[in-house]
Amino acid sequence: MPVVTRDWLNKLPKVELHLHLEGSLEPELMFSLARRNHIELPFATVEQIRRAYRFSNLQDFLDIYYQGANVLQEEQDFYDLTWAYLEKCRQQNVIHVEPFFDPQTHTERGISLATVINGISRALTDGESRLGITSKLIMCFLRHLSEASACDILAQSKPFRDRIIGVGLDSSEQGNPPEKFSRVFAKARELGLLTVAHAGEEGPAEYIWTAINDLKVSRIDHGVRAMDDPKLMAYLVATRMPLTVCPLSNIKLHVFDDMSQHNILDMLAQGVCVTVNSDDPAYFGGYMTDNFVALAQAFDMGKDQARQLVRNSIEASFADESRKRTMRALLV
């Protein structure tokens, strides 16, 4: 039996800093949007979709994930997607979220950036007023595309500057190092946007260094390969550079063979600012509570460790100081 129960972990107030909205598209919603938008899916049933969610690596997953996003067409679809995620947050006591969206996945299909951002941000506004869940939205560039394409999206996003706190970098990591995007990240910083980047998920620790040095990120998404490099570990501890770790994702994508091999609690013990997140919960088998429960089952995680993981998320978040103070006070 784990030291902490699912019920305790579910009640624990939580903060999510690494969540792809497109990765929260549950098969049921995928089907209903496909019907609404007259789109043919290559699956006949929800069960068939779930059975297809067996991945051998990141690329394997991304191929299915981009295909699933095709059902998102209208502003209301993006609203419904975001609202469904916020409902999960309410059920699992997630009180603050900083979700990602991938604009190029949609603009490349002829969907306007306004359609995407208006739908998402309307749901986030309702999430705060109706559910009390605060949020900051992060726009990710797809790293398998060119830097010119990222620059184009950044330029298109200027009218929506007030809706976005920062930019990120996701998609196929290996062979697409952070420095490929140095100039567009510099432009984003000039616009006052904060920066984060996926690094050290499948790619080497070197990519974490270049995300820090070239892209000047405030957080590293994943970063679990940092343990390959003792100098990097010392740097992360000394600077409290946060890592947004996604335990269930790492198992589903075979970054680790088994949860018992995961290094998050080891890094926590060494003083790294690690946090727990769900990444693409509709594809990886669980939301925030499920990720905490998976850690509790694999390790004898105690209440103090769980609370410290949430405290790290609050420290690493882009919420203002007064919101951070309120959230910290909820962690009894």
Residues found near ligand ADE in the complex (CB under 6 A): 20, 23, 58, 65, 170-171, 198, 201, 249, 279-280
Residues in the interface with Zn ion (CB under 5 A) total 1
- CA nearest to 330, candidates 94, 16, 90, 88: 94
Token pair of 21 as six digits: 């909205």
Nearer to Zn ion, 209 or 284 (CB): 284
The tokens describing 2, both together, are 């784990």
**Cα dihedral 97, 98, 103, 104 in deg (nearest 10):** -120
List the single partner that 171 binds among ligand ADE, Zn ion, none, CB under 5 to 8 Å by kind.
ligand ADE
Name which of Zn ion, ligand ADE, none residue 201 binds, using a CB cut-off of 5 to 8 Å depending on partner kind: ligand ADE
Give the tokens for residue 26.
């549950």
Contact between residue 62 and residue 172 where contact means Cβ atoms under 8 Å apart: yes
How far is CA 257 from its chain centroid?
A: 21
201 labelled catalytic: yes
Q: What is the number of residues in the chain?
A: 332
Query: Based on CB atoms, which residue is closest to ligand ADE, 80 or 201?
Result: 201
Is residue 64 within 8 Å of residue 53, measured between CB atoms? yes
- What residues does 101 pair with on adjacent strands? 139
CB of 325 to ligand ADE, least distance (A): 31
Output 12 or 295, the one with its CB closest to ligand ADE: 295
Cβ closest to Zn ion, residue 22 vs residue 75: 22
Closest CB to ligand ADE among residues 4, 205: 205
Of 98 and 280, the one with the shorter C-beta distance to ligand ADE is: 280
Q: Which residue is nearest to ligand ADE (CB)?
A: 170
Write down the least CB distance from residue 165 to Zn ion, Å.
Answer: 17
Q: Where are the alpha helices (DSSP H) in the chain?
A: 6-11, 27-36, 46-52, 58-68, 75-91, 103-107, 113-126, 147-156, 182-190, 205-213, 230-239, 247-252, 264-269, 281-284, 288-298, 303-316, 321-330
CB of 201 to Zn ion, least distance (A): 7
In the complex, the smallest distance separating the C-beta of residue 44 from Zn ion, rounded to whole angstroms, is 29
| CA–CA gap between residue 222 and residue 270 (Å, rounded) | 17
Residues near 236 by beta carbon (within 8 Å), at least 6 away in sequence:
223, 226, 243, 272, 273
Among the options 16, 201, 206, 321, which is catalytic? 201
CB of 67 to ligand ADE, least distance (A): 13
Work out how close the CB of 170 gets to Zn ion at its nearest, in angstroms, rounded to a whole number.
5
Under DSSP, is residue 47 helix (H, G, I), strand (E, B) or coil?
helix
290 lies in the binding site for Zn ion (CB under 5 A): no
Close Cβ partners of 162 (under 8 Å, ≥ 6 residues apart): none
Nearest distance from C-beta of residue 20 to Zn ion, angstroms: 6
Q: Which of residues 260-289 bind Zn ion (CB under 5 A)?
A: 279
| Nearer CB in complex with ligand ADE: 58/301 | 58
Quote the CA–CA distance of 134 and 131 in Å, as a whole number: 9
List the catalytic residues: 201
Q: Which residues bind Zn ion (CB under 5 A)?
A: 279
